[in-house]
Structure 1
């Protein structure tokens, strides 16, 4: 009987080698499966595809230059956004009309106590034989002091009548904007003190005009008046809470395509109605004067009993074009405020058309 407890050594070695080989195969297979599973994951595949399709740096640069060119329309810079600017003007026209313009000289301010600029102002010195004025304009009736300019009315026989008056006007013409004057009218029956714009036949245009007027007969009232093509609009008279002849005050009117608003010491007093057909449309000279009329005017301004040499005083005149901020008389003159707006008391129905 064969003894099975004794196994030859060669057989034992073969069995050990088989076990080692089997272990190696298992290890190799496990490593292969692990490697294949890493390669087959979606993330790894996407990364490989992206890397394979990515152009070389030089090719990428050439593609950008050739394809990504600036478009003159799409790539144009956006327009700047401008914040609204507050305006110091009390009343503003609607935005659609605020842009309306008339030919106009630039804005200005003049302190009439300074040396008078003859290149800027014309000092009237001529006769008025056919007009409503009761005498000539005399250069000598224009006086100057440190406080301003005085325009006098004198009982002096002239070519046009028994009086002479004083007048100044700009050599240039002005359109839509704000007109301001600091003045003190002459006091005395028969006297008229004015600040206004004017253009007419002498300038080769229609008669257009906007007025601020004072009658020396009663300087506690102010008169507002306007014309277009020689036809007068709805003129009005207002009581003032002061006597205008006692001290300087600030008077103004604002003229736009929509109408006219008049101010006293910065407060609105009167405004034309919407669509008023008599609002002027022609640029004019700025004029200020002191005068008395022919005998037929006495029913309006009173019998001329004034003292010879009585004068109206003007210390500042300014113009600011519509929509622009420029230095004005109101920036310098600080009047005593009167918060009560006077009521309209009369229409100037007897005012002559001139």
Structure 2
């Protein structure tokens, strides 16, 4: 659920003509989907590619203010922090980055370690909405700090959600790095955890259609207790990301660990 390189990644992209050749006919390319395939390994943070959220919050449900000070790189790992630093209207500060470009059908992948703590949400998702003069479409992986033994999948179509599914994460999503991916097509949406298919949606009324930006965020809430658990701040927490990637529909896998490499 979402409303809405200080240091600095190796980002690899195919030339535009290759994307045109690889794009399958009839795939229904979305308006505004100008983002091309990339693999980001966070050796640097290119702010022409990534927008760092700073100076606002997403509404009354969020108890932290986005702050660029809570976004850092360390040894090729993106760190998004949550701290008890009063910022703006909130007693806490938190970190988020988002792509500047919008992306369409294809494979979205992240390798990340979630934060620990009830009331926190470590999220990898795609989103577009009214701020971009589009309907609210969204595809989510969210690890709720109240139970890091699972990850929640969900998608919104024109603001309508209710598609939640909880999937186990062996060993705990906050104990080590895990791979999360979704393959988004016009008539099918598949979710993967550590290379295993864990959920498939084929009802087109439950599959978003609008091109979206890609987000990584760590935030907290003391109001959404039924969903995120009671908020209890113990110490600064961090969400860590080793890699994030997008592969346009019809293209070959871009790195050896990609879920696309193992598909038939």
Question: TM (normalized to structure 2)?
Answer: 0.83
Tell me which protein shows more strand as a share of its residues.
2
| CA deviation vs aligned residue, 1:218-269 (integer Å, no higher than 9, x gap) | 1110100100111114211122222111111111001000121100111100
2:36 to 106, 117, 131: 106
Structure 1 stretches lacking a partner, 5+ long: 1-94, 335-354
Cα 1:329–1:141 shift into 2, 3 Å = farther
CA contact (8 A) 2:51 2:97 kept: yes
Cα 1:308–1:329 shift into 2, 3 Å = farther
For 1:314 and 1:186, the matched residues in 2 are separated by: 11
CA contact (8 A) 1:182 1:329 kept: no
Tell me which protein shows more helix as a share of its residues.
1
For 1:301 and 1:316, the matched residues in 2 are separated by: 26
Partner SS state of residue 242, structure 1 = coil
C-alpha deviation, 1:306, in angstroms:
3.4
For 1:129 and 1:106, the matched residues in 2 are separated by: 28
For 1:315 and 1:131, the matched residues in 2 are separated by: 31
- After superposition, residues 224-263 of structure 1 pair within 5 angstroms as 224-263=153-192
- After superposition, residues 121-200 of structure 1 pair within 5 angstroms as 121-128=50-57, 130-200=59-129
Higher relative contact order, structure no. (Cα contacts within 8 Å, ≥ 6 residues apart) = 2
The two structures, once aligned, show a CA RMSD in angstroms of 2.0
For 1:183 and 1:283, the matched residues in 2 are separated by: 23
Q: How many residues align?
A: 235
Question: TM (normalized to structure 1)?
Answer: 0.63
CA contact (8 A) 1:318 1:328 kept: no
For 1:331 and 1:211, the matched residues in 2 are separated by: 18
CA contact (8 A) 1:178 1:320 kept: yes
For 1:193 and 1:182, the matched residues in 2 are separated by: 12
C-alpha deviation, 1:217, in angstroms:
1.2
CA contact (8 A) 1:179 1:318 kept: yes
C-alpha deviation, 1:279, in angstroms:
1.1
Aligned to 2:213: 285
For 1:123 and 1:322, the matched residues in 2 are separated by: 27
For 2:58 and 2:140, the matched residues in 1 are separated by: 23
Aligned to 2:9: none
C-alpha deviation, 1:301, in angstroms:
1.1
CA contact (8 A) 2:129 2:135 kept: yes
For 1:154 and 1:329, the matched residues in 2 are separated by: 35
Aligned to 1:309: 236
C-alpha deviation, 1:96, in angstroms:
8.7
For 2:93 and 2:101, the matched residues in 1 are separated by: 25
Structure 2 stretches lacking a partner, 5+ long: 1-23
